[in-house]
């Protein structure tokens, strides 16, 4: 039995297939609250096709494009958000919405932290389109992405006008939103003090797990 299991794992790795075992939810760190219960999408609402968003093996799964955004029903102002994500195959593109209303494109009416397969994206990326960037506002430093199929970690801290993005333990953005007055007309979300958080459905499958938030005072 053990030999057969090892053989399956090796075959899956050789074929580039991500083998997905059941994942028990990890308890949040002290002071954090789980935004996802590991079983269903209670507390979340899709802005596009709801059936694009599912739950598998303790993770929120975006099966592909067409789902718009999956947003929390609750709004948050100052907070630290933590999560993990992974791509199913090369060329993935997604994002994390911050302080967004439930209507409109979070990249403009709120804030969007870009998530993308920087190495596998088929076209040329602008500086603000790389992983960790505040989309169309603040370019990120170069991300150290994990191989396709492995989990990346993400920490986002929003405190007042200050936004910090830490990806795989590397700080990619440390921005003050008042430094971008020329962007305010195009990005009214830069002025928002609170809103929903969530994830983008753009193209290929992407999984999210261990989604935790701590409200800051």
Question: Does 150 reside within a domain?
Answer: yes
Question: Does 94 reside within a domain?
Answer: yes
Query: Of 37, 67, 35, 36, whose CA–CA distance to 51 is shortest?
Result: 67
Question: Does 20 reside within a domain?
Answer: no
Question: Does 9 reside within a domain?
Answer: no
**Which pTM does this prediction carry?**
0.89
- Cα–Cα distance for residue pair 208/84, rounded to 1 Å: 6
Confidence of residue 26 (pLDDT cuts 50, 70, 90): confident
Question: Does 93 reside within a domain?
Answer: yes
CATH number at 121 reads 2.60.120.560
Confidence of residue 6 (pLDDT cuts 50, 70, 90): very low
Question: Does 98 reside within a domain?
Answer: yes
Question: Does 156 reside within a domain?
Answer: yes
Rg from Cα positions in the chain: 17
How many domains are contained in the chain?
1
Residue 10 pLDDT exceeds 50: no
Q: Which two tokens stand for residue 102?
A: 């439930």
Query: Of 107, 65, 78, 106, whose CA–CA distance to 204 is shortest?
Result: 65
Instruction: Write the pLDDT tens digit of every residue in 56-111.
Output: 999 999 999 999 999 999 999 999 999 999 999 999 999 999 999 999 999 999 99
Instruction: Write the pLDDT tens digit of every residue in 152-197.
Output: 999 999 999 999 999 999 999 999 999 999 999 999 999 999 999 9
Question: Does 73 reside within a domain?
Answer: yes
136 is in which domain, residue-wise? 28-215
Mean residue pLDDT across the chain = 91
């Amino acid at each position: 039995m053990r030999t057969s299991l090892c053989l399956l794992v090796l075959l899956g790795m050789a074929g580039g297939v991500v083998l997905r075992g059941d994942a028990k939810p990890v308890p949040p760190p002290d002071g954090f609250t789980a935004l996802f219960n590991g079983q269903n999408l209670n507390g979340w609402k899709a802005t596009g096709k709801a059936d694009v968003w599912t739950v598998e093996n303790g993770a929120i799964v975006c099966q592909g494009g067409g789902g718009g955004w999956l947003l929390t029903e609750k709004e948050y102002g100052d907070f630290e958000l933590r999560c993990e994500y992974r791509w199913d195959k090369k060329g993935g593109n997604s994002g994390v919405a911050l302080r967004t209303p439930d209507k409109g494109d979070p990249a403009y009416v709120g804030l969007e932290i870009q998530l993308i397969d920087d190495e596998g994206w088929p076209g040329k990326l602008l500086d603000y389109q790389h992983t960790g960037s505040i989309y169309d506002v603040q370019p990120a430093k170069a991300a150290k992405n994990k191989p396709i199929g492995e989990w990346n970690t993400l920490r986002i801290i929003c405190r007042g006008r200050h936004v910090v993005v830490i990806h795989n333990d590397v700080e990619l953005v440390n921005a003050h939103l008042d430094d971008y007055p020329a962007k305010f007309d195009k990005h009214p979300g830069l002025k928002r003090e609170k809103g929903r958080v969530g994830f983008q459905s753009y193209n290929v499958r992407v999984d999210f797990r261990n989604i935790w938030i701590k409200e800051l005072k």
